[in-house]
Amino acid sequence: MGGGDPQVTGFLSTARAARVYNTSSELYPKPCSRILQEVLAVKFAFSETMCDPSHLVPLAIEADQAGYDTFGIPDSICYPEVAVDEYPYNDDGSREFLDGTPFIDPFVLAASMAAVTERIVFETGVVKLPIRNPVLVAKTVSSVAVMSNNRFVFGVGLSPWVEDFQVCGQDWKTRGKRMGEMIEIIRGLMSGDYFSFKSEFYDIPRIKLCPVPTQPVKILYGGHTNAAYRRAARLADGFYFTGASEVEVLERMKIIDGYRREYGRENEPFEIHAGLAFSSLDDIKRLEDLGISQLVFGPRGGYEPDTLTFEQKRDILRKFADDVLTKL
């Protein structure tokens, strides 16, 4: 299924921030002295997707050179001619805007970008995990992490489309139960040791992968339900919030924190990546103080047609870096 929903496009809810920024050359005129006196830890991802594929690798090079921390990559397998459900993430339920919209396989795209960059990290936001085989995913993620010199973050989630499961030969009804097991399998196989797993859904004998990355691959979770928050608290290294207001994000962070305490993980590192609007450096500092680890910027909204040239996107990318990233 094509992906314009928050589960699929991941980072694109920051279109609000992009639109505000692009319409005002005075967005960040005078950073406050407090911010100038301290270094902020908040990271920034650059996001551009559902666009001309020829723009992507050059934009990754530009983002790498401009100082962005990460580059967001979405996931979509196919677009079915007939779908059972309406599109769940816009007002009228239409999905036709996804017909003919290009999506490059996220692992292929991450490897292609990593080959021509030096420091920027590539994050999937999010890969539809339960439509795939966990052993093959573990091998692919491990390979991308190795070849990128540990510059890969694996964002995962479910898919809201039954058609994705049908065409990939995976069971729709057990997707939630399998999701947790898949994360455990992927982590186990990427340890580099022999690993086995047996459950109702998977029967994996003792095997090991080689090579595996020299650093553990961070796994971030994206979703919109209490089950997703609980699963992330138990198994993940962080959470993606998309399509939610600041108030909603803060409320859901509290829910996740409660689950993390329940699982005894409250003292372990846990990142919050959120597509929230911001209008000043003070705003960015405030969001960091609230617990946001990473914000996102892109040249346009995910639901907007791709009418910008590569040169226009490059200029927007550079301007934001000059006006904001150099001030952090």
For residues 75 and 84, the answer to whether their CB atoms sit within 8 Å is no
Most confident of 30-34, 190-194, 324-328: 190-194
**Chain segment 187-241, per-residue pLDDT in tens:** 999 999 999 999 999 999 999 999 999 999 999 999 999 999 999 999 999 999 9
Confidence (pTM): 0.90
Whether 71 maps to a domain, the answer reads yes
Cα–Cα–Cα angle for 145, 172, 130, rounded to 5 degrees: 5
Give the contacts of 82 (CB within 8 A, at least 6 positions apart): none
Which tokens hold the place of 310? 């590569």
Q: What's the rounded Cα separation, in Å, for the pair 221 and 123? A: 11
CATH number where 289 lies = 3.20.20.30
Query: 243-269, pLDDT tens digit by residue?
Result: 899 999 999 999 999 999 999 999 999
Structural domain harbouring 247: 6-327
Number of domains in the chain: 1
- The reply to whether 1 falls in a domain is no
| Residue 10, in any domain of the structure | yes
Q: Is residue 314 part of a domain?
A: yes
In tens, the pLDDT along 261-316 reads 999 999 999 999 999 999 999 999 999 999 999 999 999 987 788 999 999 999 99
Residue 154: beta bridge partners? 219
Contacts of residue 318, Cβ cutoff 8 Å, sequence gap at least 6? 62, 66
In a domain, 70, yes or no: yes
